[in-house]
Amino acid sequence: MLLKPLQQFICDGCGAVIQQPQHAEILWTMEAAPEDYPHDYWYYNYKLVHKRYKSPYGTIGCGLGDQLCNNDIETFLELFLLDPECKDISEFQELMHRLTIPYFEEAKLYMAAAIKDMDMLKELCGGFTNAKFFKKVIELYGG
């Protein structure tokens, strides 16, 4: 496949490539937070999808039905990097990795196959949280 890092993404709705960041939007669900939480609401179920006018499905879009809120990538980052009100921080972190670490988006497709070689890959690439590691996973397991 070989996506352009940080420029192309895989749509969580239809599985097709989103060709440019401007063609994407992020959907999420919002619900009232428990009383002991510092904010009134928290967010979860983040999805990166085509904007409706770029969706292969036309005006019905690639939305997954239950998300209440949406923003383009730039607006989402501005809002959430300052104060992420997340129900599950690991879900939010994965989305941030998709948007900010080169090759992560495509490499995540092959991580199950790469698990058996994780120690070798980590040593070869100087860690497993950098762009070099994710690019190597794509090269070795991307077919």
Across residues 67-77, what is the average pLDDT? 79
- pLDDT at residue 58 is higher than 70: yes
Collect contacts of 71-77 with beta carbons under 8 A, ≥24 apart.
71/25, 71/26, 72/21, 72/22, 72/24, 72/25, 72/26, 73/21, 73/24, 73/25, 73/26, 73/48, 73/99, 74/21, 76/26
Percent of the chain past pLDDT 70, that is, above it, reads 92
Least confident of 29-43, 59-73, 93-107: 59-73
- Which of the pair, 112 or 65, is modelled with greater confidence? 112
* pLDDT for the residue numbered 65: 61
pTM for this predicted structure: 0.83
Percentage helix, strand, coil for the chain under 3-state DSSP, each rounded to 5:
45, 20, 40
Residue range 93-101: mean pLDDT, rounded: 91
DSSP 86: B
Average pLDDT across the chain, whole number = 85
105: left (phi over 0), alpha (psi -120 to 50) or beta: alpha
Q: How many CA atoms are closer than 13 Å to the CA of 100, on its beta-carbon side?
A: 11
Residue 32, helix vs strand vs coil = strand
- pLDDT of amino acid 16: 93
Confidence (pLDDT) at 39: 81
The residue with greater pLDDT, 64 or 56, is 56
Residue 20: its pLDDT value, please? 95
117: pLDDT strictly greater than 70: yes
Q: What does the pLDDT read at residue 98? A: 94
